[in-house]
Amino acid sequence: MKNILDFFILEKESDFCNRRSIVIKFALIATIVLFSLFACINLLIQQYWAAIIDSISAVVSILSYIYMQKTGNILLSIRIVTFNIVVFFLVFAYISQATHFSLIWTIFVPIFAIISNGKKVGLYFSLLFYTLLFALSYHYINVWNAGEWHFVDWVRLVLASTILTLCMYIYEALLDAAQQDLQLARAKERQRSEELHQQSVTDQLTGLYNRRYYDNMIDKLSFLAKRQELCITFFILDIDYFKYYNDYYGHIKGDETLIQVANVLQEHIQRGDDFVFRLGGEEFAGIILSNEKEKTHQWISQLTTIIENLKIEHKASKISDFLTVSIGIATLEHLDGEKNIDLLYKYADKALYAAKYGGRNQSRIAQES
């Protein structure tokens, strides 16, 4: 029962490759043209019943095409047209009575059904069509075409139709497999490209953005700040006496400490428009966009206390038994063409120097900004 319902279950259009979408649109137009042409020909030769059937099929195809254009539902349209073709060829087979090898035209049903609907649904349509066609043609053995339709002819029809349908199914299955392999290869390529890009803009040790990403982002963030009329604040954070720390505890312990400091920065500064970086060595930086300059300064200054409260032992430090940091902060307000965003780094670096000269384990705000 579930398989029967699959005839009309609409799959997501993304499940169909672009090739099939093109085929479906072409098939809809082709059925309109062919059915309309057959209707005119049969009308001219006074085959009125055939002309009526062709006209009905043409109308169904036209309505399906209009529905597809208005709603974009390609799959439902092709399901309707395929069912229309199944009915058409069954009626055609009954009317033609196998004269002049007319049943040869039925080979187009599995070709159209499988290429347009995919191997699974197309196979269902083909099985439905041939089950009815074989039963109909077997029933009329020695009756159709004034008794010239024989059992041998019927067997040939069954074998030829079965082989053709099987070949079309295998062909479509191979195309689907090739398409899936191609999509998988492209997905791996995109993933690898993203990984390479991520590696190029992040610090491998801490996972923070690196100096290269800072250089790429600073102009974009300054433009965003100017457009939204926000202040842009830049700070540089440097670990106090970190060279002594490495000499005393070793570089492995030093790397672990850098990661801990980076984690504090990530947890403390986590808004979407704010960024933290590792500039190199024991030096970190961050950019914050805000319309509250004083509050931002206080927020950044809290980092000195937060990091000292980690209680990371630092016996080689000259100012504390624990790891400490110094911070230089600079802010630009009302950005305009006269203020170079590069001044931020200069101001923050000068404020950092003042914090270190003033005894370390503190933050200083650049007055020039």
Pick from 301, 199, 205, 316: which is nearest to 252 by CA? 205
pLDDT in tens, 133-160: 999 999 999 999 888 899 999 999 999 9
pTM over 0.85? The answer is no
CA-based torsion, 161, 165, 171, 174: positive or negative: negative
Return the percent helix, strand and coil in the chain, to nearest 5.
Answer: 70, 10, 20
Domain boundary assignment for the chain: 2-185, 211-365
H-run or E-run covering 327: strand 325-332
Residue 265 backbone class (left: φ over 0; alpha: ψ -120 to 50; beta: rest): alpha
Q: What is the pLDDT of residue 181?
A: 82
**Residue segments in the chain with a per-residue pLDDT below the cut of 70:** 1-20, 195-200, 272, 334-340, 368-369
Outline where DSSP puts E strands in 224-282: 231-239, 275-280
Exposed/middle/buried for residue 109 (C-beta within 10 Å: 0-12, 13-18, 19+):
buried
Torsion, Cα of 121, 122, 127, 133 (10° steps)? 140
Q: At what angle do helices 151-201 and 108-117 cross, to 10 degrees?
A: 20
CATH number of the 211-365 domain: 3.30.70.270
- Report the alpha-carbon distance of residue 257 to residue 263 in Å, rounded: 10
Number of separate helices (H) and strands (E) present in the chain: 13, 5
Marked catalytic residue, from 282, 308, 333, 368: 282
338 is catalytic: no
Evaluate whether 165 touches 123 at the Cβ level (below 8 Å).
yes
Q: What is the pLDDT of residue 198?
A: 62
Tokens coding 36: 């309309």
Q: What is the pLDDT of residue 4?
A: 41
